[in-house]
Structure 1
Amino acid sequence: MTGAPARPSRLLIPASALLWGLQIALLSPALALILSTLYGASTTDIGWSLAIYNTGGFLASLLIPAWADRHRSYLQVLLACGVLTIALAGALAAVTSLPWATVALVVLGGPAGLGTTMLFAHLRSAGTATSSIVDTRAIISAAWMGGPPLATAIIGWAGGRGILAAIVVIALLNIATTAAMMSRHRRAASERPEAARPRESLPPGSRTGTVLVVAAFVLFQATNATAMTFMAIYVTQTIGLAVLWGGIVLGVAAALEVPALMIIGRLGDKVPHLTLVAVGAVAGIAYYLGLALATGPVALLLLQVLNAVCFAAIGGIGLALFQDLIPGAGLSTGLFMNTRRLGAIVSGPIIALGALSPLGQRGIFLGCAVLTLLGLALVHLARRSAGRRAAKDQLPVGG
C-alpha cells in the first residue's frame, strides 16, 4: 500500500511534457497564419517578424537558463513560462498592428518558449536517468504528431483568436501541473539526500571536446532540418510522386521517432552517449545517401527507419550528452536547443548550394551525407580529446 500514492507523481512529468509539447506544436505552425489573419501581414512582413522573434528566442535561451542555473529555480521559471504564455496570447489578441505583435513575441514569446528547456533542466538537476529524459523527449515528439493538424483545424473553425484561446487553456493546465510538481519536489527534497551526479561523457572542463561536439550537432541538426524541409519538393519534382507521398513519408518518420527514442533512451543508461551519437551519425549518412539514390515510394518509406535511428541519437541522446558536457542543467539544455535553431539557419545554404551541383536536387542529400560525415569526424576528435585529457589528469604531479 505504501507505493500507491507515488503513481500520480510519476504521471506529472509525462503530463507536463505532453502539454508543453502540444503548446509548442499548436503555436509554431500557426504563428504565420496568426500574423497574416489578425494583422494582414504580407509574406515578407511575416518573414521579418519571425526572424526577429527567433533572434529574441535565441538570446532568451542563453540568458534565462543561465540565471536559473545560478538560482536552481527551474520549476519556478517553468511556472513563469506558463504565465508569460497567457500574457502573450492576450497581447496578440489585443494589439492591432504587426510591429506591436512583434514586440510582444520578442518580450513575452521568447521567454515563454523556454518551457521544454526548463522541464529538461529540472529533470537533469533532479538526477533523472537518461532513459527517463529521452522518454520525456519522445512524449514531446508524440505531441507534434497531433499538434499541427489540430492547430489548422482550430484556425479553420475559430480563426486566429481561436488558436490563441486554445493556447491559453493549455497554458493554464501547464501552470497547474508545474505547481503540483513544485509541491512534490519540495516534499521529496526534504525526505531524500542529494541525488548523485550523473556520469560525465567527457571530463568536466574539456572545452575543446565540448566545442567539437557543439559544432558537430549544428551540422547534424542542419542536415535533419534540410531533409524535413525539402522532402515534399523532392518527392514531387525529382522522384515524380504525388505531393501526398511527401506527407506520408514525413508522417511515417514522425511515427517511428517515438519508439526509436524509447529504445535508444534505455541504451543510453548503459552505453556511452558519444558512442550512441556516432551510431546515429552513421545511420544518418546511410539515410541521406539512400535519399540521393531513391527512385520510388518503397525506398523512401524503408529509409525512414534509418532516419528514426539518426533522429533518436541526435534529438534524444544528444540532449543528455549536452547535459553531461556543459555545467548547468539550464544552460546545457538551452545550448542544445539552440543547435536546432542554428541548424535551421544553415539548412538554407545547404539547399541552395546543393541544388547547384550536376546532380540537381539529389546533390542536396549527397551534401547532407558529407556534412554528417564531417560531424561524425568531429565527434571522433572530441572522443580523442577526452582521452588525452583523461591521460593527462592521471599523470603524477611533478613527474
Structure 2
Amino acid sequence: MDHSGSKRWLVPSAALLWGLQFALLNPALAILLVDVFHAGAAQVGLVLAIYNASGFLASLALPAYADRRRDYLGPMLACAVLTLALAGALALTTSLPVAVCALVAFGGPAGVGSSLLFAQLKHSGAAPGDVVRTRAVVSFAWVAGPPLATLVIAAYGARAVLAVLAAVAVLTTFTTAAIGRRPHQADEPGESPRPAGAGRIATILVVFTALQATNSAVVAIMTLFVTDRMHLGVTWAGITLGVAAALEIPALLAIGRLSRRFSSSWLIASGCLAGIAYYTAMAYATGPAMLIGLQLLNAWFFAAVAGIGLTLFQELIPPPGLASGLYVNTRRVGAIVSGPIISLGSSTSHGYGGVFLLCAVLTAAALATLAVQPLTVRSG
C-alpha cells in the first residue's frame, strides 16, 4: 500500500488541528471565565492579561529549548499534551484561582505548539512557499473555529467546548507523533545561513510589531466603526470580519506561489501598499458594498504580514524556533500597542475613522523603514 499520499497530508492536518485548538479556546475563554468561574469584567481582563503574558514568555523559552536540542517535534508533543491537561483542569474545577493557574501552567506553553510546527518545517528544509501554504491552513482553522465554538456553547453550554478542545488535542497528539515518523532532512551545520545583524533584526521586530498592531486595532474597533461611524447594523461588522478571514486563505495561497518568483521584501512592500490603501479608504467608506469590497485589500495586507513575514523571520534568524517565537510575539506585542493606537486615533475629529488613518500612517512608516534598510533575502 502506498502511504505517500497520506504522509503528504500530515503537516496540513497538524496545522489545521493546531490552529483549531486555539481558534476554539480563545474566543470562548471569556465566556468560560464568566459563566463557569463567575469572573467579573475586571477579572476577565486581568486573567486574559496573565494568560497572554505566560504565552509570551513560553514563546521565547520553549523555542529556545527546541533550538538547543534541534528537536521541535518533542516539544510540540508536549504542547499537545498540555492542551489536553488544560481542558481537563478547566473541566474539573469551578475555582477561578485554579483556572488561572491552569491557564498559566498549561495554556501559555500549549499555545507555542503552532509556532513550533513552523520551526519544524524550516528545520526539515521546507521552502518558503510551503510555509506560507501551511499558514493558510491555520487561517482556515480560524475561520471555522470561532463559529464552531459558539454553536457548541449555544447548544450545550460553555463547558462543552472543553470536550471538543480535548478531542482536538488528542487528534493533534497523534498527528504530531505521526510527523515524527516521517523521514526528513534536517539542517546540516555547514549549510546554516549567516545570521542577520542586530540592527536588521531590530528593524524587522519594530516593523512587524507596528504592522501587527494596525491589524489588531482595526479588528478591535470594527464593530464600533460600523455601527457608530457608518451607521450600519452590528451584523455588518460580523460579515466584514468573516469575509476578511475567508479572503485571507486564497490570498495566502497566492502569496505562497508568488514567493517562488519574487523576493520577500517585494511581497511585503506590496502588502504594505495594500494596507495603506485599505486603511485610507476605510476611513471614508460610506456603505456596505465599499465596506465588503475593501476587504480584498485587507486580505492581501494580512497575507503578506502573516505569510511572508514568518518566512522572512526564518530567513534572517537561523534558529527556527527563535525565529518563529519572535514572529509570534510581534503579534502579541502588537495587540498591546493597538490600545494606544485606538485611543489616539479615535480622539481626533474623524472618530473611529481616525484609527484607520493612523494605521495608514504607521503602515507607510513601516514601508519607508523597509525602503531605508531593505531586508533582502533569498526567495523560495
Common topology (TM > 0.5): yes
Give the stretch that moved more between structures: 89-98 or 308-317. Answer: 89-98
Deviation of 1:270 after TM superposition, in Å, equals 2.4
The alignment status of 1:236 with 2:227, answered yes or no, reads yes
Q: Which residue of 1 aligns with 2:292?
A: 301
The alignment status of 1:222 with 2:213, answered yes or no, reads yes
Q: Does the CA-based 8 Å contact 2:55-2:107 persist in structure 1? A: yes
Deviation of 1:193 after TM superposition, in Å, equals 9.2
Deviation of 1:154 after TM superposition, in Å, equals 1.1
User: Which of 266, 278, 284 is the aligned partner of 2:275?
Assistant: 284
Q: Which residue of 2 aligns with 1:84?
A: 82
Q: Report the TM-score, using the length of structure 2 for normalisation.
A: 0.95
How many pairs align?
377
Q: Within 5 Å, give how 1:67-78 maps onto structure 2.
A: 67-78=65-76
Q: Which residue of 2 aligns with 1:121?
A: 119
* 1:14 counterpart letter in structure 2: P
Q: Does the CA-based 8 Å contact 1:58-1:338 persist in structure 2? A: yes
Deviation of 1:197 after TM superposition, in Å, equals 5.2
Q: Does the CA-based 8 Å contact 2:133-2:253 persist in structure 1? A: yes
Between the aligned partners of 2:135 and 2:189, the Cα distance in structure 1 is: 22
Q: Does the CA-based 8 Å contact 1:74-1:122 persist in structure 2? A: yes
Give the stretch that moved more between structures: 159-168 or 210-219. Answer: 159-168
The alignment status of 1:361 with 2:352, answered yes or no, reads yes
Between the aligned partners of 1:324 and 1:130, the Cα distance in structure 2 is: 9
Q: Tell me the alpha carbon deviations over residues 128-156 of structure 1, each in whole angstroms, 9 at most, x when there is no partner.
A: 01111111111111111111111011112
Runs of 4+ in structure 1 off by over 4 angstroms are: 192-198
Q: Tell me the alpha carbon deviations over residues 6-46 of structure 1, each in whole angstroms, 9 at most, x when there is no partner.
A: 11111001111111111111000001111112111111111
- SS of 1:41's equivalent in the other structure is coil
Between the aligned partners of 1:229 and 1:161, the Cα distance in structure 2 is: 26
Q: Which residue of 1 aligns with 2:9?
A: 11
CA RMSD, Structure 1 to Structure 2 (Å) = 1.8
The alignment status of 1:36 with 2:34, answered yes or no, reads yes
Q: Does the CA-based 8 Å contact 2:16-2:141 persist in structure 1? A: yes
* 2:374 counterpart letter in structure 1: R
Change in 2 beyond 3 A, CA 1:164/1:358: same
- SS of 2:261's equivalent in the other structure is coil
Between the aligned partners of 2:270 and 2:129, the Cα distance in structure 1 is: 17
Q: Which residue of 1 aligns with 2:330?
A: 339
Q: Does the CA-based 8 Å contact 1:322-1:332 persist in structure 2? A: yes
Between the aligned partners of 1:96 and 1:103, the Cα distance in structure 2 is: 12
Deviation of 1:194 after TM superposition, in Å, equals 5.0
Between the aligned partners of 1:107 and 1:311, the Cα distance in structure 2 is: 31
Between the aligned partners of 1:173 and 1:361, the Cα distance in structure 2 is: 42
Q: Does the CA-based 8 Å contact 2:125-2:187 persist in structure 1? A: no
Q: Which residue of 1 aligns with 2:134?
A: 136
Q: Does the CA-based 8 Å contact 1:81-1:115 persist in structure 2? A: yes
The alignment status of 1:248 with 2:239, answered yes or no, reads yes
* 1:114 counterpart letter in structure 2: V
Between the aligned partners of 2:160 and 2:93, the Cα distance in structure 1 is: 15
- SS of 1:122's equivalent in the other structure is helix
Q: Does the CA-based 8 Å contact 2:132-2:307 persist in structure 1? A: yes
Q: Within 5 Å, give how 1:384-399 maps onto structure 2.
A: none
**Structure of larger gyration radius:** 1
* 2:18 counterpart letter in structure 1: W
Between the aligned partners of 1:306 and 1:56, the Cα distance in structure 2 is: 34
Between the aligned partners of 2:189 and 2:309, the Cα distance in structure 1 is: 22
Q: Report the TM-score, using the length of structure 1 for normalisation.
A: 0.91
Between the aligned partners of 2:230 and 2:191, the Cα distance in structure 1 is: 50
- SS of 2:327's equivalent in the other structure is helix
Q: Does the CA-based 8 Å contact 2:16-2:138 persist in structure 1? A: yes
Deviation of 1:214 after TM superposition, in Å, equals 0.9
Q: Within 5 Å, give how 1:161-200 maps onto structure 2.
A: 161-185=159-183, 188-189=184-185
Q: Which residue of 2 aligns with 1:393?
A: none
Between the aligned partners of 2:231 and 2:20, the Cα distance in structure 1 is: 34
Give the stretch that moved more between structures: 155-164 or 211-220. Answer: 155-164
Q: Which residue of 2 aligns with 1:391?
A: none
* 1:120 counterpart letter in structure 2: F
Between the aligned partners of 1:105 and 1:18, the Cα distance in structure 2 is: 22
Between the aligned partners of 2:26 and 2:190, the Cα distance in structure 1 is: 37
Deviation of 1:243 after TM superposition, in Å, equals 1.1
